[in-house]
Structure formats: structure tokens, C-alpha cells
A = this chain, B = another copy of it.
Amino acid sequence: MRPVPRVVIVGGGFGGLQCAKALRDKPVDVVLVDRHNYHLFTPLLYQVASCLLNPSEITAPLRKVLRGAANVRYREGDVAGVDFDKRIVQLADGDELHYDHLVLATGSATNYYGNEEVRAHALGLKDLGEALQLRNHVLECLEHASTAATDRERQRLLTFCIVGGGPTGVEYAGALAELARLVLPREYPELSPSSLRILLLEGGGRLLPMFVPSLSTYARRELEGLGVEIRTNTFVSSADDTGVVLHDGMKVETATMVWTAGVLPNDPLHEKPERLPVDDHFRLVGTAGVFAIGDVAAGHDKRGNALPMVSPPAMQAGRYVARQILDPGTRRPFRYRDKGTLATIGRRAAVGQIGPLRFRGFVGWVVWLVVHLYYLVGFENRVRVLMRWGWYYLRLDRPIRLIVEAQPARDSRELAGRESDRPTDR
């Protein structure tokens, strides 16, 4: 029996997971590598950061998702490099994985545009560890503000600066405003709700630039109704322990700068901060047997426009590449189907555009809700998230207000054992 081809997929996000699922029970041997043991539904990450959802409700353990597929297995690991000639993926733990087909689907990371000062003081909102850090941090700010020695210090702790007016910034700003509005008056008698300040800074001329201008205007009005101060055409030029300085020299005293102002491809080859060049079949230029999809790849639609760094093109490319691997004779080029864009503003408004349709307000919110539940991985997660949303919609609560960190992981030496023991057993 001829051995079946080995497919290595790096990254269990939207693109990598769709590719792995499409290869289930097919005549290939698949290894899905990810540093995390779960798939993360990033569009709802801001709801973990704002005390509304549990981490377990927006994640699915990769082994559970892949359960029952005898030809697909999960491998926890970080990619250290790829030897394209020998067709080998090198992992950080020293192991090497041979491949016949390699799919790079490593997504993107926060882009601080090289400003190390900003990076050192910013809070990200791109992975689960960052969302929990942000949740802890905001709750700590409220606690510290409750006992602040001076009015000035209290005001600094109650000033929350969100940088970036894209969907993540807009959605988090709305969720934070509602959290504060619901919780402060009832549970923080020491604090005046009116002293809370949420600033949303956007470098461009309007919020949500991927939407039509009328929806940007609507989003701005809704956020302002929730008490969010919005400044467009505004950049952060520097940051220190006491606050941030804007491009015009204005200083904002704050203990919180949430950075959602840009992403950059998460290149596993550790080369340049650019999307990997691919042809119109997502083949990595200059290599054989290597595909790159999703945020990390510079894919194009048939008109030559760069694919946006969002989940639908990644998922479509994942399925497309799986078909290419199973039937290399197929030469039908990739056709991107634009699924539209959605963003919520607070608890019952949203904006959306799907093809020629425009939604906003409550109708937009219902569309947003249905779409997000549909794409959430796992039936149980859908049920739980829907119940939570229903409950909080009625009860107006944000109950997951815990300041908790896992104790740091055990020393990795202990997990790995004494290296000196190993050779004798090999």
C-alpha cells in the first residue's frame, strides 16, 4: 500500500481549521499544529474582555473538534522554521515534521507600527490571554479608583483610552461603556458614574472605514449615546506610566490604553512583516507543496484586490486549499465570496452590510446575533452563548467580573524531565 500524503497545517484558526475539517476521512494524513490547544472565535473576544462571556464559551478544544477523524491529529507546538527543500517543519521543541503539503495559516498579531513605547504600555485584544488580562486590568482600575488618594489619580484610573476605530475598537468601547453603566451605579458607591471617561481614538476620518459612511455616522452617534468620546484623525505618538500623548501634543492621563489600531501577519518564517506572497491558488511563491491562507497570506480576489484580514476569506481559502490537495488536477482559481461585515454597538444596536443590503439598529443586532451564533464552533457553545445573551439582555448584568490569573505554569524543565535521562532511553 502506498503511503498517503502527509499534510501539515500550521494554525488552528478559521483558515487552518476549515482546511483540516475538509480533509477529514480523506486519503491524506493530517497534522494540525497550533501553540494553543483550542480554536478561538476571535469575533467575540471583546465579550470575554468585558465580563460577558467565559473563555470556554468562545473556544473549542482542537482535539474535541477533530474527534472521530482517524486521519487528522492535533500537535501542540510553535513553528521555529521551515526547510522548504527537505519539506520539513521545525518545531520550537526540537521535533521535525515532514510534509508533502504544508498549509501556513498562522493568522495575524497586533501591529504597534514599531513604536516600542506604545507596545510596552498597551493592552492588546487579539488572543485569550490578552482578553483576560484586559478584564483583570479594567476591574483593578475600578478597585484602585475606589481608594485613590487624589481626585486626579481617581480620574486617571477611570479614563479608558481605546486606540483604533475598527470593529474591535468600536465593539469593545460599546461593551465597556455598558459594563460601566450597569455596574458602577449599583456596586461602586465610592465612584461617580459621570467621572468615567471612555475615549475612542481613530487615525482616519471616520469609525468603521470598511462600512459605508452612513453606517459610520450611525455607529458614532450610538457610541456617543453610550457616553463614549470619539476623536477621529487622531494618533497616539507616545505613552508612559501616566498616560498617552496624542499627535498634537495633548496629554491624556490614563492607566489604560487598549490597542486595536492594526494587525500584521504572523509570519512563521520570521522574515518581514508583510503578508506572504501567494499565487491565485494560494501557493507560496518560490516553493513547492506549500500553501499560505488567511491573514498571513497576500491572497487576492479575481479583481486583484487584496483579501481583507477577516475570517470569511480565510475559511474559504482553507476549504479551497483542501480541494487542491485532494485533487491537484483542479486548476479552477479561487473565487472570493464577500460575506459582508458586521459590528455591534452596545447591547442592542449593530451595523452591517451584506452585499447590497445595509442593516442597522435592532435589525442589525439580530442579524449580527444569528451570524455569530451560526459560525461559533460547537453546538453547546451556541446554546450557552445564546442563553447568556438572553439572560443579560433581560437582567442587564455582566456577571463574570473576576480578577483572576492562573498561577504561572510549572517550570518547563519539570514537564520535560531531565535532558540527561533521555538519550539512554531512546
Contact = CB atoms under 8 A, between A and B. Distances in A.
Q: Tell me the number of copies of this protein.
A: 2
Interface string A149-176: 1111100110000000000000000000
A55 B401 CA distance: 11
A54 B385 CA distance: 14
Contacts of A68: 186
Interface string A235-278: 00000011000000000000100000000000000000000000
Nearest to A149: B422
A413 interface: yes
Nearest to A121: B414
A402 B38 contact: yes
A329 to B, nearest CB: 31
A417 B256 CA distance: 11
A56 B151 CA distance: 33
Interface in A187-219: 187-190
A279 interface: no
A147 to B, nearest CB: 6
Nearest to A70: B189
Contact of A133 (B61, B123, B406): B406
A302 interface: no
A230 interface: no
Contacts of A132: 404-407
B406 A61 contact: no
Q: Please classify how large the interface on chain A is, using the bins under 10, 10 to 19, 20 to 34, 35 or more.
A: 35 or more
Contacts of A75: 146-147
A327 interface: no
A391 B401 contact: no
Contact of A401 (B37, B415, B416, B425): B37
A340 interface: no
Contacts of A186: 67-68
B188 A63 contact: yes
A421 interface: yes
A116 interface: no
Given A93-B147, A129-B406, A73 B190 contact: yes
Interface of A: 36-38, 54-56, 59, 61, 63-64, 66-68, 70, 73, 75-77, 93, 95, 121, 123-124, 128-130, 132-133, 135-137, 139-141, 143-144, 146-147, 149-153, 156-157, 183, 186-190, 241-242, 255, 380, 391, 399-411, 413-418, 421-422, 425-426
18 contacts: A37-B401, A64-B399, A66-B187, A68-B186, A129-B406, A130-B407, A132-B404, A133-B409, A133-B410, A135-B406, A149-B425, A149-B426, A150-B425, A153-B421, A241-B411, A241-B414, A241-B417, A405-B405
